[in-house]
A and B are shown apart, each in its own frame.
Chain A
Amino acid sequence: MSVDAQTVRRIARLARIAVAEDEVEHLQGELNAMLAFVEQLSEVNVDGVEPMTSVTPMAMKMRADEVTDGGKAEAVLGNAPQSDDGYYMVPKVIE
């Protein structure tokens, strides 16, 4: 599997990463090197093997339905470049 220049541009746009046109070729090479590396895994025959979801067999832990968090708007907004009256303020987004 390998990606072309168009796919590189598309992935960058979906990830909202600005990629200049002169970087595309270089990134394409890097991505294809990674894909080739990972592709070595397909040499292993995994017919009939369940996908592994955890290193040790365990069930997902569940919480009780209790309110144990929240009430810390200041901490939540602490790293925001801009906030106002408890809101995050971001560049205008409207449909």
Chain B
Amino acid sequence: MNVQSKPSKFIKGATGDWEVVIGMEVHAQVSSKSKLFSGASTAFGGAPNSHVSLVDAAMPGMLPVINGECVNQAVRTGLGLNAQINLRSVFDRKNYFYPDLPQGYQISQYKQPVVGEGVVVVDLAEGEAVSIGIERLHLEQDAGKSVHDRHPQMSAVDLNRSGVALMEIVSKPDLRSSEEAKAFLAKLRSIMRYLGTCDGNMEEGSLRADVNVSVRKPGEPLGTRCEIKNVNSLRFIGQAIEHEARRQIEIIEDGGVIVQETRLFDPNKGETRSMRSKEEAHDYRYFPDPDLLPLELTAEAVAELKAKLPELPDEKKARFVRDFGLSSYDAGQLVAERETAEYFETVAKGRDAKLAANWVINELFGRLNKEGKAIASSPMSAGQLGGLIELISDKTISGKIAKDLFEILWTEGGDARALVESRGMAQVTDLGAIGAIVDDLIAQNPDKVAQAKANPKAMMWFVGQAMKSSGGKASPQAVNDLLKSKLGV
């Protein structure tokens, strides 16, 4: 609540600096085969109403039965957020009317959520890190989907998503810039993907965020907030916050007041606009769902889930720094995605880890980005890249030839060592062979010899020529040493 941001994060207004205060409500779809209270599939993209049971369609007499795995997933996520797990929680009905909500209420958790307060450490640029408080995490049902463009006078309703389990994760208002908000959501996504509790796919709607934004003069009490609904990409979250903060500052500086309301972000215009129609409906008349008993967990069951948690990004990053001697920044890049971290570990295993990190971050990431590929569809396996690293480490190839080899492995595939042998790419370290090349150059270029003797920097011309004559395969170190002794510089 009283987190003070650094002045560099303030927004300049006509009347001085403003601080933006942000809290987030993140809806994350639980990774599960079947829905929270029915045995229908959660698979994305089925034919309309094909993944719907009579429970999801709210037919009279149908009763919800909870999916134990969804509960476990919520507990795992809570543990991953360093949060309090509540051994007793309660499901409530949140009442509202909408055609894609056939029950007329959403089964959710209100006063007694399954997960309480926690904390997430978020890494920012330049090695800065902030701790963001988690207020709570609760389980609830997703609604169906309305399609408005199939018919001029009617809306079409598909209940495939109806009843899919969601985790609503609420942050404390600890975020102080759009950068922090984006980094927070990216970190939540990373943690849940490591845990396997949410696939984090924002395009398919598995991860959505509502953003609460208010502004204040630094050091003053919190201002009135506006809630921006359903912003579904990191880029849009940044844009929505920037726009909303500016809008509020302008209103206040012009002598107006902020009205608490729900707003919608329009990605085409890059601005937020009021959703007045929903304002009146904010009376959800929550009450405990009489169809469901309280959710009771044992400390033993929670401890068992905790013992089986995978290594999470923060722990993995610390281990990469400790065991491999990587910089915090490099380690952070490698652990952001679970698949990347696994790829790197396979490359680094039994090899020079720092060299492996450089090649994964600079060459592999660069190439993947350029071609818009994810690491899972990389044409080069971790084993292939590992082979290349070995060849550099044992000085079979030079760094320059390694880049050529990378290109071949990427486009043609194959085994690194076999390719180097079959294509004669190995570095020439045989002093006799390099000596002959160097002797030749010295004999034929007396003027350059004189220059080099006068100014040792001119020796670089010989190094270049020797490398060229050897087709890039001569060891630059060996060439340098030989030239120095032969030219006497």
Contact = CB atoms under 8 A, between A and B. Distances in A.
B480 interface: no
Interface in A16-51: 16
Contacts of A82: 154
Interface stretch (B46-54, B212-220, B469-477): B46-54
Contacts of A61: 65-66
Given A14-B283, A62-B66, A86 B153 contact: no
Contacts of B278: 95
Contacts of A62: 65-68, 71
A73 B53 CA distance: 9
Given A70-B41, A70-B51, A75-B54, A64 B154 contact: no
Contacts of B275: 95
B442 interface: no
A61 B159 CA distance: 25
A67 B33 contact: yes
* Most central of B34, B158, B264 by chain A CB within 10 Å: B34
A77 B147 CA distance: 16
B68 A63 contact: yes
B292 interface: yes
A60 interface: yes
Contacts of B151: 84, 89, 92
Interface in B66-81: 66-71
A86 B296 CA distance: 39
A58 interface: yes
B154 A90 contact: yes
Interface residues on B, range: 35 or more
Interface residues of A, number: 36
A67 B159 CA distance: 16
* Most central of A53, A70, A71 by chain B CB within 10 Å: A70
B150 A87 contact: yes
B487 interface: no
A92 B292 CA distance: 33
Interface string B5-39: 00000000000000000000000000011100011
Given A16-B97, A54-B293, A69-B53, A63 B65 contact: yes
Contacts of B150: 84-85, 87
Given A66-B39, A67-B41, A70-B51, A87 B66 contact: no
A53 B39 CA distance: 25
B34 A87 contact: no
Nearest to B276: A95
A58 B294 CA distance: 10
A93 B53 CA distance: 24
Nearest to A59: B296
A67 B39 contact: yes
Contacts of B288: 53
A19 to B, nearest CB: 16
A76 interface: yes
B229 to A, nearest CB: 10
B48 A65 contact: no
Contact of A89 (B39, B47, B50, B154): B154
A52 B264 CA distance: 42
Contacts of A68: 34, 39
A93 B99 contact: yes
A2 to B, nearest CB: 18
B309 interface: no
Given A86-B48, A87-B157, A69 B40 contact: yes
B333 interface: no
Contacts of B50: 70-71, 73, 86
A54 B283 CA distance: 28
B197 to A, nearest CB: 13
A88 B283 contact: no
B154 A69 contact: no
B429 interface: no
B233 interface: no
Given A69-B53, A92-B153, A87 B158 contact: yes
B293 A53 contact: yes
B157 A88 contact: yes
A1 interface: no
A64 to B, nearest CB: 7
A14 B285 contact: yes
A62 B39 CA distance: 12
A69 B155 contact: no
B121 interface: no
A65 B293 contact: no
9 contacts: A59-B296, A61-B66, A62-B65, A65-B33, A75-B54, A88-B49, A89-B151, A90-B154, A93-B148
Interface of B: 32-34, 38-41, 47-55, 57, 65-71, 95, 97-99, 146-148, 150-151, 153-159, 264, 275, 277-278, 283, 285, 288, 292-296
Given A65-B68, A69-B39, 12 more contacts: A54-B293, A59-B296, A65-B33, A70-B41, A70-B52, A84-B150, A86-B49, A87-B147, A88-B49, A88-B99, A89-B156, A94-B155
